Structure 1
């Protein structure tokens, strides 16, 4: 009797052992299949991303002024770790009249040649950029929604509101740069003008961003930041820059 029970226990143990082996093999097989499927999916995504990027590159290569595209990629690893990528051809101008013509078609405040611009200063260049800062979340939500189920997708964004404007006027070695841009964080308007002389720019910033070493006058309203800057050594005083600021914005 004892021998029979012992044999039964051994048989059960063997059955359990065999069962464990079978379960392990099943789990391993399932994991292998899952890994293979993931690899296959990843390869398919990579191919799709490459195709979409190639198509987008062709469109972007046309370099149409004002073009803005947003690329969405489901697998961030296939896009340098980013879910979205922006492609932008800003409006660029060598003529002040051309700038005024384009600026007049867009919503939002623009900047213009101040009434008291010192004699001798001439327009050098300018650009208008889309309102990415103000609409980033909206744009990305829209593109991702349209891309549902796709490994990659891009959309051309039509924009009718200024995001940033930069103008430059020069007189020999001296220049005046003017800018308006969307605030990153909305808050109350600034209390008057803030002026920083070029020699007061901290050394760390000056070393990292040499172009920041300028005499700068800044002010803001609830949605936009404005500034007028001059090169170090420019004879324009703080008071004269404030006078320019008073007629530099058109709303």
Structure 2
């Protein structure tokens, strides 16, 4: 027996004691139906609100305003594929090294720079800077959820202005060979300066290599208190581990 029906039966039983069965039972049934309808209307309203919010946010992303970051909160997870939040992001993307440097200079955190020892012939291809979601995601989610609660909303989104890099990716190429550089906020428990870790493309598991061929690269990694760094090259690239270490010495500006 559902709660609405159980409430109706209990109310009818009490009404019998006072000799007003018909009127009270009808009134209770009406109240139960009204309550049920309210729930349905609320769900329908939230569904429309989710669809409307997603349409607005998709339109905002289509405008391609670099740096835009929105987080959508949906109280009823069932209306959002089981997720309470959804991120909408337009990262900064660059076609020239100069554009990248200009934007990186405006943000807190380490900046990747073209290594002084990078062999002649390597040219900047593209790059991007992503928001610090890994570092501040929990905080951002609490903020948008708190705003929704304060406004009595089941669906709400908020724009976040970020002034700290979360991840940087740069690509340089020389003919068929390429070199990628990355810095990202480090979420590991054991933070601290680490030595270099180097793995060749040949060391990748065959299954992973088959499923994710783009992951198969020669990789030099290291970290500090807050960030992890990578310099990777394509399989067959002549740059050695020692040469990548040399590049790393001038690859980061803090």
TM-score (norm 1): 0.86
Work out the CA distance in 2 between the residues paired with 1:230 and 1:91: 23
> Could you tell me whether the CA contact under 8 Å between 1:187 and 1:223 is conserved in 2?
no
* Pair 1:48-2:55 in alignment: no
Structure 1 gap segments, 5+ residues each: 1-15
> Could you tell me whether the CA contact under 8 Å between 1:187 and 1:222 is conserved in 2?
no
* Pair 1:177-2:180 in alignment: yes
1:91-170 matches, cutoff 5 A: 91-148=92-149, 149-170=152-173
Deviations 1:150-200 (A, max 9, x none): 021111110000000000111000000000001123432243100000000
* Pair 1:248-2:237 in alignment: no
The secondary structure found in structure 2 opposite 1:147 is: helix
Work out the CA distance in 2 between the residues paired with 1:188 and 1:139: 23
Deviations 1:51-98 (A, max 9, x none): 222332332221101111111111111111111111111111110011
The secondary structure found in structure 1 opposite 2:115 is: coil
Q: CA deviation at 1:113?
A: 0.3
Which has the higher Rg, Structure 1 or Structure 2? 1
* Pair 1:90-2:91 in alignment: yes
Q: CA deviation at 1:38?
A: 1.5
Per the alignment, residue 12 of structure 1 pairs with none
Q: CA deviation at 1:203?
A: 1.9
The secondary structure found in structure 2 opposite 1:205 is: helix
Deviations 1:180-231 (A, max 9, x none): 0011234322431000000001123222321110000000012111000000
> Could you tell me whether the CA contact under 8 Å between 2:194 and 2:224 is conserved in 1?
no
Work out the CA distance in 2 between the residues paired with 1:232 and 1:57: 38
> Could you tell me whether the CA contact under 8 Å between 1:186 and 1:222 is conserved in 2?
no
Structure 2 gap segments, 5+ residues each: 1-12
Q: 2:210 aligns with which of 202, 207, 210?
A: 207
Q: 1:226 aligns with which of 211, 216, 229?
A: 229
The secondary structure found in structure 1 opposite 2:71 is: strand
